[in-house]
Amino acid sequence: AAADGHDLWIAQSASALARELEEDAPCPVCGSTEHPNPAPAADGEITREQVAALDQARDRAEAALRDAQARHQDLVRRIAQLNEVAGAPTPTLETERDRAAELVATLEALSPQIADIEAALAQERSRLDGLTDALTRAREGAASLASTLQERESALSGALARVEAERSGFASLTERAAHLDECAHRTAALAGACADWDNARAAHAQAQRSLADALEEQGLQADSWRSFLLPLPRLEALEARVEAHDKELFAAREALASERLTRAASAPTPHVEALTEASRRADEDAASAARASGILEQHCAQLDAARTSLEQALDALTRAREQAGPIRRLADIAAASGPENLASTPLAAWVLIARLEDVLAAANPRLERISSGRYQLVAVSDDGTSSRKSGLGLAIVDHDTDAVRSPRTLSGGETFYTSLALALGLADVVTAEAGGVELRTMFIDEGFGSLDSHTLALVMEQLQALRCAGRTVGVISHVEEMATQIADQIQVRPLPEGGSTLQVRA
């Protein structure tokens, strides 16, 4: 078409030059100022601008052809890669996808059981922690009771040892106390006898002195008193009695001077009631320790039962995980969360990637017409957004700079008509794949104010084409220039007293 346009324009160059001739102006060919027979205009005349437009259309068509060829090669490579990854042709992959879906459903059915087991396991662990804390506290209490019991047993043993030492071979403390009382009485009697002996000796000495004085007063000789002596047998008997008395006195003094009697005499009287009370408290502590030991044994039995229950729950969880292992692996492959998915693309994303290609194929012709062949949308695996993990990224091919740009670098107007082209392409794909269901009515809200007049005209041309194809397109805008191009309008007018009114123009 571009070559035909060039030929037609060259053929019509004479009539084009004739249109540019002016009176008294030289002809650009012959230089004459008179033009008696200018070439007539031919039917279907073509202008230079139309030739340029045809050239641009030819360039765009050639670029589209090259792009389509490149996309074809890319699709061939992608299909080969998918077949290599899947290990089977596309029908087999679809079968595996259905099987994976069934396995995912089975995994979802098992998930509540796994969740229940994990919840029960967490509950048993919490209970085990509580029982462990209780056991620790009980052991600490038992240790404290054992320490207290040991101290009291030591005190009791010391008291019993002291009692045994004080008893010293007696049958009981009462018998020892009676013996000590008897010893005290005997000691008192001996002390009295010693005092009597001392008194008797003093009296004897006094008697000797009195005798000497009496003899002297009577004028008797000192030895004359012997006549007054008792007979020898009587004297021996008296001496024997005195000697026996001296021996008893010495023995009594020795007994009084013995360390054992001295300690017994100085020791306080044993408190039998206090020792009995200490023995009773020790018995009570021993009984309390026995009860605590019983409680500890009961806690240990409960802990053993809890441990058995926990081990059973862990075994059940292990079996469930082993059973769910293949299903989890397939689910990880489908969700792109495992190492087996080399492209890190979920199964659902593979389906959406094909649909995205269809949407772009339908949207790009409109985008190219609106942008005068400058922009084209392509799918990329990573566009710097959250879609990079799904392989659903978008990029803009700028044919003016031969660069691939991010959609975020577009201006407001460029973003608007790019989004419009995508929306229209999506509507075309839905209409083509929804079993005859058509999106016959569309509304576009604002965005036109960011377009220049030339781009606005191109956008209106696309919307008019949709209208001619039988679709109803509603436009919501404040741009006055659009109001002059749209015949059927519903205008919203504000009222002076407040509110607004609708005015329909058809």
Q: In the chain, how many domains are there?
A: 3
Average pLDDT over residues 485-504: 84
Tokens, residue 153: 């047993």
Looking at per-residue pLDDT, the higher value among 42 and 469 belongs to 469
Q: Does residue 505 form part of some domain? A: yes
**Whole-number percent of the chain with pLDDT over 90:** 4
Q: Is 474 strand, coil or helix?
A: strand
Looking at the domain assignment, is residue 287 inside a domain?
Answer: yes
| pLDDT attached to residue 505 | 78
- Do the beta carbons of residue 32 and residue 22 sit within 8 Å? no
Whether residue 328 sits in one domain with residue 267: yes
* 90 falls within a domain: no
Asked which of 342, 358, 388 is the last residue of a domain, the reply is 342
Shared domain check, 44 and 141: no
CA 97 from centre of chain: 34
Q: Give yes or no: residues 286 and 399 share one domain.
A: no
Give the span between the Cα atoms of 164 and 275, in whole angstroms.
Answer: 12
pLDDT of 387: 47
* DSSP per-residue letters across 379-429: EES--SSGGGGTT-EEEEEETTTTEEE-GGGS-HHHHHHHHHHHHHHHHHH
Q: What is the dihedral of CA 362, 363, 367, 370, to 10 degrees?
A: 80
Domain co-membership, 147 together with 130: yes
For 440-479, how does the pLDDT look when each residue is reduced to its tens digit (9 = 90+)? 787 877 677 777 778 878 888 887 877 777 778 788 887 7
Average pLDDT over residues 424-432: 83
Q: Looking at the structure, tell me whether residues 138 and 237 fall in a common domain.
A: yes
Mean pLDDT over all residues of the chain?
Answer: 71
pLDDT in tens, 228-256: 555 667 667 777 777 777 777 777 767 66
Whether 35 is covered by a domain: the verdict is: yes
Handedness of CA 113, 119, 125, 131 (dihedral sign): negative
Amino acid at 90: T
Res. 147 pLDDT band, cuts 50 70 90: confident
Of 342, 366, 401, the one marking the end of a domain is: 342
Residue 72 lies in a domain: no
Model confidence pLDDT, tens digit, residues 319-334 = 877 777 777 776 666 6
pLDDT tens digits for 175-210?
766 766 776 777 777 677 667 767 767 776 776 677
Claim to verify: residue 115 and residue 227 sit in the same structural domain: yes
Q: Is residue 56 part of a domain?
A: yes
Are 408 and 292 contained in the same domain? no
Last residue of some domain: 305, 327, 342? Answer: 342
The mean pLDDT value for 15-39 works out to 65
- Residue 282: the pLDDT is 74
Domain holding 13, by residue range, is 1-64
Q: Quick one: 206 and 293 in the same domain?
A: yes
Question: In this structure, are 28 and 124 located in the same domain?
Answer: no
pLDDT at 196: 73
Where is pLDDT greater, at 156 or 103?
156
- Does a structural domain hold residue 81? no
Which CATH number fits the domain that encloses residue 424? 3.40.50.300
The pLDDT, as a whole number, for residue 388 is 46
- pLDDT score at 376: 93
Which residue, among 127, 58, 61, has the nearest Cα to 308 in the 3D structure? 127
Does any domain span residue 361?
yes
Q: Are residues 268 and 400 in the same domain?
A: no
- Long-range contacts: 41-50, Cβ < 8 Å, 24+? 41/15, 42/11, 42/12, 42/15, 44/8, 45/12, 45/15, 45/16, 46/5, 46/8, 46/9, 46/12, 47/9, 47/16, 48/9, 48/16, 50/5, 50/9
Mean pLDDT within 307-315: 82
pLDDT of residue 297: 79
Residue 287: pLDDT over 60 = yes
* pLDDT at residue 304 is higher than 60: yes
Q: Indicate if 295 and 350 belong to the same structural domain.
A: no
Is the domain of 178 the same as that of 166? Answer: yes
Q: Which of 74, 101, 97 is nearest to 381 (CA)?
A: 74
The predicted pLDDT at position 361 comes to: 93
